[in-house]
Structure formats: structure tokens, C-alpha cells
Structure 1
Amino acid sequence: MQLTGAEILIECLKEQGVNTIFGYPGGAVLNIYDALYKYQDDIKHILTSHEQGAAHAADGYARATGKVGVCLATSGPGATNLVTGIATAYMDSVPMVAITGNVPLALLGKDSFQEVDITGVTMPITKHNFIVKDVRDLAKTIRRAFYIAQEGRPGPVLVDIPKDVTAHLTEYISEEPRKVQKVTQYITEEDIKNALNLLQNCEKPLIYIGGGVNHADANGDLVVFAERVDAPVCSSLMGLGGFPANHEFFTGMIGMHGTKTSNLAATKCDLLIAIGARFSDRVVSKMEGFAPNAQILHIDIDPAEINKNIPTHHHIIGDVKEVLKRLNKELTQQQNKEWIEQIKDWKTKFPLGYAKDGNLKPQYVIERIYELTDGDAVITTEVGQNQIWAAQYYKFQKSRTLLTSGGLGTMGYGLGACIGAQMGKPEKQVINIAGDGCFQMNCNELATAVKYNLPIIVVILNNGVLGMVRQWQKLFYDKRYSQTTLEQPTNFSKLAEAFGAEGYDVLVEEEFDEIFKKALASKKPVVINCVIGKDDNVFPIVAPGTAIEDVITEG
């Protein structure tokens, strides 16, 4: 049948199982929005307050559900406003398709009104991008974009469509989506045999997991593997939830804000098993001092990550879940009793903790959020101290329950992601943990949450400063607090009410439980402004350029 390009786009989205997209209209996408009007019973469009919010919402939707997130923006500034969200998704391997409009074909390259070369702009921050110049190529391009976003290591794909292409007519024939195959072709029997040899001949193994475990939904296989290897498990920020935080083998995060136990274990282990992790600078710190006594076994889906940051002794390239299944099938039960006892001793000697001085503490707030939600919420965060406190004190048990900008470190990410996650997981309580600086970046998305009556909760850890940057100024810049003291007079609870949400202020610990329970029962967007001290800092911390065992503690 003959359809316009805009109608073909929507039909292709339906083919891919898309029922929710996030976007903001404009001149170059008017034909697409007209088609969305006709298809509104099939696809729900969420109108965000800003295109960056749409990108973060699509990202949060994808992370929470495992599906491809979709965002839509017009040409020029609409497209460039997506860039930070696309880069955020790229750094954290999030499957997303960003669709942008552009000026008509005859006006491309002529500095036309609201024209920008968005494929050129986004080339370094997408897995692939396309500009569709012939309506006959549109359907196959959309189908290919969704496949690329999901295959292998996931990531964002951009499709740019000139306005007249969305108006042109051509024949449309529906197709079943091409099934995404797991990456298993590089896994050999020799790889498995060599890995088993390492696992069966070590005495102090340590498993280090990253976001790849969560992307592969491999947490169940990982528990079996860790118990069979008889090895402790530490995690990068992005790996949290990939292994139950209440398991006796879990030692917490590793690296710059890792626990002393995890960092000591990495320093003393004789075999480091990295699974779905990329040895980022925040984990490794001083490269030449990382895991100095260990052989490295690296399991990852992306061959580009092998030997990129840390040289390995052996590696297996493939889907993490499939590799773990094959190893578990062959691996006999190992016994590393002395090593496990050493780990338990370190965990007892060096627990996470914070000073309780009668004031409202951010760590206390996170602990109570965990307890009052029975650990069953989906948590989004902004970036900085709020992010690390959430990572340290909320005990993540399952994959896809921590949504945070780990690679790019995007302030303003959390609220948009919270909206997207709530749309994707309406049965879950979704909570955004924010700092006051981050919240001000994209607080306009509260209007979106109110418009769609989403029962999200935003908890602001408000210290009146840019906390993490100020902490670095305190520790490493002789307390020269240049432009990090905010102390703005904005009343966040009143601001929430102005948007149509509920707003509360919490000044002391005794108030938090009552107000948080109100928020849980509200079924409306709620903002809880928790006033904390500006000198409440994140510990442990490893100074940049030092070995990870050189941990600075609050003491």
C-alpha cells in the first residue's frame, strides 16, 4: 500500500513493538506529528519540556525495560538539544533510536533556517547514524537502526529525515523484525578450557563486574558462577544490581569510591575475573598499580575493550550470559576458604559508615529509602555526591534498578530518566535521588511528570553547594571554593507546587519517614527537599593518580 514517509516511520515503530516515544514537535517534523495524531491509539507520545529531557527519558525507559528507547526532535536546535542525552546513552551502552527531522532535501547544505548537520555532529557518539534522502530507503533504515541499537554491545543510533522525505509517497510492506542474535561466534572450546584452568588453579580469585552483566540480564548466572568459584564479587558503579548486594560474597564498589575491602581484594588477589566491565579510570586509578599480583581474565562482548586499558592474560569475547552458562556447565566446585575468611575479616574491619551528629545525613536518607521501599524501587540518580551515596547505601539486589549516568556523568540526567523508567515500569516505584545543583539543570521536567500524573518521587540532597566539586576543592585545592557555593534562595518545595507537584522540606531525621511515607502513598509527583550539611562528604575516596588501596577515609 502507498503511505507517506511519516506514516511508514510510524508503521516501522509499530513493527518494532514501540508503544511509547518521547519528544518535542517542530517545523521539520510536522508530518511525523501529524501521523502520530492519526496513530495515537497505537503509540503514546510523551511531550517533554525540553529535548534533552526526551533523550534522557528514552534512555531511562531503555535501561529500566531492556527495550529500545525512542526520542524524536525537530531540526537544528531540537536535534542539538538531544546531543547530551545521546552521548550519555553511548557511554553507558544504552539501546536508543533518536529520530530527527531536517530541512527539505533542496535546502540541505545551504545554511537554511534551523538546519544543522546532525549526523556529522553525532558521529562520535552513536553506534551508527543515517540521513534518509529517499523515502524508498526509509523503512529499511528504521529497521536497521533498531537492529544496530540492540546487537552486540548496545548503543544509540540516530536517523535524520528531511521534511520532504516524510511527505513523499511510496509502497510500504510490513516485515517481522529481524531477531537479534546473541554474540557467541567467538566463544571457543579452547577459550573455555583456558578460563577453567585459571579458575581451578587460583587461591585468591576476585570477580569484578560492570554494566555488561546488567545489559545481559546475567545476574542469576553470575550468582551460580561466584558461588562455584568461591570468590568475592565487587562492582563498578554501572554493575550495581548485577549481583545481590546482600549476598555474603559481595564487597561493594571498587575504585575511586569503592569500599576498602574491594580495593584491598583487587590489590591482593591472584586472579581478577572482569565480567562485562571496561577497567575505566574511576575503577583502576593508577594503571601500573592495579591488581599487581593477579592474572587477568576478561569476559566482554566488545573486542575493542580487550587490552584497551589493562592488559589481560586471557579473554573470552561473547555475550556474558552465554559465557557464564558455558563456564558453569564445566566448572567444578572450588574451595578458597582462607581467602573468603580474609574478605570477611576486611568487611568487618572496614565497613561503610558515617558520623551521626544529630543532623540530617544523606546516607541516612538513602538507607531509609531502601528500607521503606523494601529494596524494590527503581532508583535514578543525578551525578556527584548524591549518585555515590545512592550507590553506596541503597542495597541493589536486581538488574535494571539503578539508572545513572556513569560514563558521561551528566548532571540533569536523573529526572528525565525517572520519567522514562516510570513510563516503562508503571508497576514500580521510581525514585530520583538528586543534588540541588543537578536538580536545577532539568527541573523543568517536573511539568512533564505532572502532565502525565506520574507517581515519581524526587529526593533532593540539598547542601547549598556543588558538593562533589567542592569536596575536591577541599581535599586537593586547599579549600579554594571557586564558584561551588550556590546558596540560592530557590524554595524547592514551593517550586514543586508551582509545577503542580507536591513539595516537602525535611530538616531533621525524625521528619523523613513520615514525609517519605506520604510520598509513597500520594500517587502523584512529589519533591522532598532534604537539607543537609555542606561539609557532608563522600568517603571512601581515592585521590586521582594513586593506587586504589590508598583509600582516604573520613577518619
Structure 2
Amino acid sequence: MQLNGSQIVMECLLEQGVDTVFGYPGGAILNIYDALYEYSDRIRHILTSHEQGASHAADGYARATGKVGVCMATSGPGATNLVTGIATAYMDSIPLVAITANVGTALLGKDSFQEIDIAGVTMPITKYSMIIKNVKDLAPAIRKAFRIAQTGRPGPVLLDITKDVTGAMCEYLSVEPEPIARQKFSIQEPDIIQALDLIEKAERPMIFAGGGVILSDASEELAEFARRLDAPVTCSLMAQGAFDQANPRYTGMLGMHGTKTSNYAVTECDLLVAIGVRFSDRCTGNTATFAKNAKILQLDVDPAEINKNVMTDASVIGDVKLILDVLNSRMGEQHHPEWLAHVSDMQQKYPLTYPADVLTGPGVIAKVSELTKGDAIITTDVGQHQMWSAQYYTYRSPRTFLSSGGLGTMGYGVGASIGAQVAHPDKRVINFTGDGCFRMNFNEIATITRNNLPIVTVIINNHVLGMVRQWQTLFYGKRYSNTILEDKMDFVKLVEAMGAKGYRVRSMEELEPTLKEAMELHAPVVIECIVDHDDKVFPMVAPGASIDDVFSAEDM
């Protein structure tokens, strides 16, 4: 049948199972938005307050569902406002398709109004980016974009469509999408044999799980692998929820703000099985001393990650769900009671603690964890509250912790919470943020109230840029250059002006009743929690130090 380019975009989105897109209209993309009006009964559009909010919402939707998130923006500044969100998705391997519209083909390269080469701009931060200048290429390009976004290691793809293409007519034939096959071809038998040999010889094995476990839906296989290997498990920031944190095998997060138990156990183990991790500097510390007593076995879908940051002794390349399936079916059950007892003793010796009598970030997050019983989707911004969210909330299942890990994007949380809540309207969604981060994208509270999304946003307000100030305190002689936020901002009045219910909490006695009331409202809520500006995230490893040089407040 004959359709115009914008209708073809809609039909292709329906082919791919897309039911929701996030975006903001403008001149060059008007034809596509006109088609959205026609297809509004089948494709829901969430109008955000800013294009960056749309990209974060699409990212949050993707993380919460495992599906491809979709965002849209017009040419010029609309497209460039997506860049931070695209880069966030790229660093954390999140499947995203960003659709932008550009000026007409005849106007390209002439510095036309709102013209920009967004495909060129985003080339380093996408798996694939292209501009479409012929309507006959449109449907194949969209199908290719979704396939690339989901194949192998996921990631974002950008499609830029010239305005004349969005209005041009073309014959359209519906195509059933081919299933996305898991990467199996690279799982080699010699690699499996070598992995099994290392496993059987290990006396002190440790599992280090990364975000790839969640991306491949391999949490059940990881749990079985940990049982069969009889090993403790530590997780990266991106793997929160990949392993049930109520399981006694879980030792906490690894790295700069990891637990002492995890950092010491990785240092003492004789085999480190790294699953879906990229050995970020925030996890490894000094790579020369990382896991210095261990053989390292790395399982990952991306061969580029092998021996990139940390040298390995063996590796298996492929989808980690399939790799774990193979290993679980072929390895004998291992037994390491003395090692597990030693790790358990460390957990008792080095617990995470916080003062119970005053309001603190850890106390707020621990109370939310208690009240929700770990059954909520948590989004965060970046900084101290992000680390506390990883340390003090007990995640029971994957896709319940949504946070910007690789890029560390302040302002991510509100948009991501929108995507998560739209994806899961019956789930409790709670966004933890700091006063510095909240300023970045608080305009998306208007998006939340416009759509009556029952998101609870908790601001940990210490009136400073907390993590930067912590570094200034510890490493910069307490020279607090531009990190103090003692201004007249009233967050409660601000959010109420945008239609949300606002609360302010100053003590632990006020916290629980306020949280309970907020969650019972089933409406947009923002809770400002006033904490001390010198609260710090501990444990901590100094930049460039070995992870076993981890220290806490008591050590100081």
C-alpha cells in the first residue's frame, strides 16, 4: 500500500512491537507528529519537558523492560539535546532507537535553519547512526536500527530522516521482524574446557557479576552457577539486582564504594569469574593489584572487552546466558565451605552502618527498602545518593535499579523514572536524587504531573554537591570551590507549583510516616530530606589505589 514516510515510521514501529515513544515536536519533525496523531490509539507518545528528558525516559523504559526504548526530536537543538541521553545509553549498553528529523534534502549542507549533522555528532556514541534521504530506504533502515540495537552487546542507534522523506510517498509492505538470536557462534569448545578446568582447580572462587547479566536476562543462570560453584557473589553498580541481595552469598558492591568484604574477597580469591563486566576503573582501582592472587576467567559477549582493562587467564565469548547454561550443565558441584565461612566472617566484621538517631542518606534509603520490601523500581541520579542507593537498598530481582553508571549523568533519574513507570504502571517507582542533580532536570516533574504518574521522588538535600565536596574534603584540602548550594531554593514550593505533592523531612521520626503517606497517595510526590552537608559515602577507595586499601570513617 502507498504510505508517506511518516506513516511508514509508524508502521515500522508497530512491526517492532513499540507501544510507547518519548519526545518533543518541532518544525522538521512535524510530519511524523502528524502521523502520531493518526496512530495515537496504537502508539502512546509521552511529551517530555525537554528532549534530554525524552532520551532518559526511553533509556529507563528499556532498562525496566529489556525492550528497545524509542525517543524522537526535531532537527538542530532538538536533536543535540538528545546527545547526553544517547551517550548515557551507549556507556551502559542500553538498546535505544533515537529518531530525529532534519531539514529537507535540498537544504542539507547550506547552514539552513536548525540544520545539524546529528548522525555525525552521535557517531562515536552509537552502535550505528545514519541519515535517510530516500523514502525507499526508510523502512529497511528502521528495521536495521532495531536489529542493531538489540544484537550482541546492546546499544543506541540514531536515525536522522530528512523532512522531504517524511512526506514522500512509497509502497509499504509489512515485514515480520526476525527473532534476535543470542550470540552463540563465538562460544568455543576449547574455551569452555579451559573455563571448567579453572573452576575445578579453584579453592577460593569469587563471582563478579556485571550489567551484562541483566542485559542477557541471565539472573537465574547466575544464581544456579553461584550455587554449583559454591562461591560468594559481588556485583558492579550496573548489576544491582542481577543476584538476589537477600542471598547470604551476596557480599555487596565491588570497588571504590564497595564493601570491605567484597574488596578483600576479590583480593584474596584464587579464581575470579567475571560475568558481563567491563572492569571499569571504579570497580578495579589500581589494575596492577586488582585480584592479584587470582586467575581471572571473563565471560562476555563483546570480544573487545577481553584484556582491555584487566588481563585475563581465560575467557569465553558469547551471550552470558548461554555460556552459563553450558557451564552449569557440565561442571560438577563444587564445595568450598572454609572459603565461604571466611567470607561470612568478614561480612560480620565489616557491616555497612549508619547512625540510627539522625536523618542520613543511608537511613532514608534503608527505610524505603524496608517499607517496599525490595519490591520497587529504583531510579537514581549520580553522586552520593546513587552510591547509598546501591549500598542500602536490598534489590531482589533484575531491572529494578536504573542508574547512569558509565557516563555518570546528573539529571538522569527523573526521566528514567518516567520511562519505568510508563512501562510498569502497576509497579512502585521511586527516584532517589540529590539537590544538585535535581536542579538539572526538575522540569520533568511537570511531565510526571501532566501524566499523573505516581512516582515518588526523594531528594537527599545536603545543600552541597555532595560527592564532589567529599573529594574536596579528602583530597583537596577542604577547598570547597563551587560546591556549596546554600541558596533560597524551596523544593517543596517548586514541585507544588508544578502540580506534585511536596513534603519536607528533617528527622528520622518524621521519615517513616511521611514515606507511608506518600506511597499511599498513588500520585506524583516529591519528598525533600534534609541531611548534614558532611555526610559521606563509606567505605571508599582513593582514586588509583588498590581496592584492598578500602577505608571507612572509623579508619580515618
The alignment's TM-score, normalised by the length of structure 1, stands at 0.99
**Partner Cα distance (1:13, 1:344) in 2:** 50
Distance apart, 1:355 and its partner CA: 3.0
Report the equivalent of 1:470. 469
Report the equivalent of 1:397. 396
Q: Which range moves more in the overlay, 333-342 or 382-391?
A: 333-342
**Partner Cα distance (2:241, 2:61) in 1:** 17
Report the equivalent of 2:489. 490
Report the equivalent of 2:437. 438
Structure 2 counterparts to residues 122-161 of structure 1, below 5 A: 122-161=122-161
**Partner Cα distance (1:68, 1:266) in 2:** 34
Distance apart, 1:146 and its partner CA: 0.3
- Is residue 323 of structure 2 the alignment partner of residue 320 of structure 1? no
**Partner Cα distance (1:351, 1:516) in 2:** 26
**SS in structure 2 at match of 1:45:** strand
**SS in structure 1 at match of 2:72:** strand
> Residue type matched to 1:188 in 2?
Q
> Residue type matched to 1:525 in 2?
P
**Partner Cα distance (2:487, 2:502) in 1:** 18
**Partner Cα distance (2:43, 2:325) in 1:** 37
> Residue type matched to 2:373 in 1?
D
**Partner Cα distance (2:269, 2:16) in 1:** 45
**Partner Cα distance (2:306, 2:436) in 1:** 37
Report the equivalent of 1:271. 271
**Partner Cα distance (2:355, 2:542) in 1:** 21
Distance apart, 1:21 and its partner CA: 0.2
> Residue type matched to 2:241 in 1?
G
**Partner Cα distance (1:381, 1:489) in 2:** 24
> Residue type matched to 1:19 in 2?
D
- Is residue 449 of structure 2 the alignment partner of residue 450 of structure 1? yes
> Residue type matched to 1:265 in 2?
A
Question: What's the CA shift string for 1:302-361, capped at 9, x where partnerless?
Answer: 1110110011111000111111111000111111111111101111111111234x3211
Equivalent residues, number? 554
Percent identity over paired residues: 61
Report the equivalent of 2:171. 171
Report the equivalent of 1:31. 31
Report the equivalent of 1:79. 79
> Residue type matched to 2:379 in 1?
T
Report the equivalent of 2:423. 424
Distance apart, 1:194 and its partner CA: 1.2
**Partner Cα distance (1:400, 1:449) in 2:** 21
**Partner Cα distance (1:133, 1:488) in 2:** 50
**SS in structure 2 at match of 1:110:** coil
**Partner Cα distance (2:275, 2:523) in 1:** 39
> Residue type matched to 1:484 in 2?
T
Report the equivalent of 1:547. 546
Report the equivalent of 1:344. 344
**Partner Cα distance (2:551, 2:241) in 1:** 25
Report the equivalent of 1:536. 535
Distance apart, 1:215 and its partner CA: 0.6
> Residue type matched to 1:453 in 2?
N
- Is residue 525 of structure 2 the alignment partner of residue 526 of structure 1? yes
Distance apart, 1:181 and its partner CA: 0.4
> Residue type matched to 1:203 in 2?
E
Question: What's the CA shift string for 1:246-290, capped at 9, x where partnerless?
Answer: 111110011100100111011111101000001010011111010
**SS in structure 2 at match of 1:542:** coil
**Partner Cα distance (1:237, 1:468) in 2:** 16
Question: What's the CA shift string for 1:221-265, capped at 9, x where partnerless?
Answer: 111100110111001100111111111111001110010011101
Distance apart, 1:217 and its partner CA: 1.2
Report the equivalent of 1:374. 373
**Partner Cα distance (2:88, 2:286) in 1:** 25
Structure 2 counterparts to residues 96-111 of structure 1, below 5 A: 96-111=96-111
Report the equivalent of 2:505. 506
CA RMSD of aligned residues (A): 0.6
Distance apart, 1:489 and its partner CA: 1.1
**Partner Cα distance (2:82, 2:412) in 1:** 12
Report the equivalent of 2:515. 516
- Is residue 258 of structure 2 the alignment partner of residue 258 of structure 1? yes
**SS in structure 1 at match of 2:97:** strand
**Partner Cα distance (1:426, 1:317) in 2:** 37
Distance apart, 1:188 and its partner CA: 2.0
**Partner Cα distance (1:16, 1:297) in 2:** 36
> Residue type matched to 1:338 in 2?
E
Question: What's the CA shift string for 1:83-134, capped at 9, x where partnerless?
Answer: 0000000000000000001000011011110001101100000000110010
**Partner Cα distance (1:221, 1:470) in 2:** 41
**Partner Cα distance (1:37, 1:391) in 2:** 41
> Residue type matched to 1:241 in 2?
G
**Partner Cα distance (1:118, 1:339) in 2:** 53
Gaps of 5+ in 2: none
**Partner Cα distance (2:472, 2:355) in 1:** 21
Distance apart, 1:521 and its partner CA: 1.1
Report the equivalent of 1:244. 244
**Partner Cα distance (1:320, 1:125) in 2:** 24
**Partner Cα distance (1:495, 1:195) in 2:** 56
**SS in structure 2 at match of 1:274:** strand
Report the equivalent of 1:217. 217
Distance apart, 1:189 and its partner CA: 2.1
Gaps of 5+ in 1: none
**Partner Cα distance (2:376, 2:553) in 1:** 29
